[in-house]
Amino acid sequence: MLFRSIIFFATLVTMVSSPVWATSKTKNQKQEPPIVDIRLDDVEASLEETAPYGDPNAKPLEQTSRPDKFRRERRRLEQQTEDQMVEQLEISRMQDEKLRQQKLMEDDTTPMPVEESFSSNMTTTSTAYKKPSRAEIDSSDKSFFLGVGGGILNYPQAENLVDNGATAITAGLFLPWNLVAEVGFTYAFNQAEVAGSSTTEDMDMYQGSGAIKYFMEFSWFVPSAGVILAYTRRSYDGGDNGSNALDAGVVVNGDVRLTKNIYLGAEYRYMTNLDYERELPASRSALTIQKFSTQSELANPEAIDYHLLLLNAKYVF
């Protein structure tokens, strides 16, 4: 019995001490690093798989796959399309700039040649620029004018009427279509010789008129023509007697431009009577005019035609 107890105790001690010794032996033993086998073929395959796709001109290390080829070809075509669009846009801008420079700088009506587009799909249309004349530029800013003049009032059919002189003041407004509306006041002084006597009698004429004229403007000469309607008041013998008349006629002007605003010219009016009324007895022989046609034919001054010739100056505003 004692012998069996000794053997059991020895066996138990042996079992307990064996794991501790094994663990201590493992800790004191030096560990070796693992050996990794890397092949060159695996590295090249990895580099090929990670090649940059952002650059369409990137040269692959090895032959790429079919999808990669299509992708690179598509990006190359996109780049070519963008380059063509930019080229056409720049060509169009250059042509527009040449046309704009041509309109500002050219001196005649012949347009500058425009280079043909490098692209057959683009079409450029150029419009000739007409330089305005000096007359068009000057007439575009005109508004109205004032004028004064002096000349002679003549009765060509009267034998015993002396022509002394006339003065006039005019004002005009420029209208579209080369028309001008004009109003004026004219004063004329004449003397009538009394039939059968050496004495004379004064005749003063006061006339207010309105006219419509059409004018043409050249570089320095401005002719015009139109119709005129006038109210005429004649006063005889110092204003004690007189008459009222309505006259009409034609008027012709010729003006020379000295500066942009100052004109000198001449005006001719031919007037005829439409109707009149006298404020004196018809027996007054001094108020009748002897015509050139027959020595015995007498007529009232209001009933015969007369001419007015004026030299005038105008200032255009």
Give yes or no for residue 65 having a pLDDT over 70: yes
Give yes or no for residue 134 having a pLDDT over 60: no
Give yes or no for residue 150 having a pLDDT over 90: yes
Average pLDDT over every residue of 140-152: 87
Q: Which residue has the higher pLDDT, 85 or 135?
A: 85
The confidence score (pLDDT) of residue 285 equals 44
Q: How far apart are CA 251 and CA 213, in angstroms?
A: 8
Write out pLDDT tens, residues 17-46.
554 444 444 444 445 555 544 444 444 444
Write out pLDDT tens, residues 240-288.
678 899 999 999 999 999 998 999 999 999 999 999 988 765 545 445 5
Residue 134 — left, alpha, or beta (φ > 0 → left; ψ -120 to 50 → alpha)? alpha
The confidence score (pLDDT) of residue 250 equals 97
Write out pLDDT tens, residues 171-216.
999 999 999 999 999 999 988 776 666 777 888 999 999 999 999 9
The confidence score (pLDDT) of residue 118 equals 43
Write out pLDDT tens, residues 51-61.
444 455 555 54
Torsion of CA 59, 63, 64, 69, to 10 degrees: 70
The CATH 2.40.160.20 domain(s) of the chain lie at 136-316
Residue showing tokens 């008349």: 245
DSSP 303: G
Are 163 and 175 contacting, i.e. CB atoms less than 8 angstroms apart? no
**What does CATH list as the number for 136-316?**
2.40.160.20
What is the rounded average pLDDT for all residues in the chain?
76
Percent of the chain with pLDDT over 90: 37
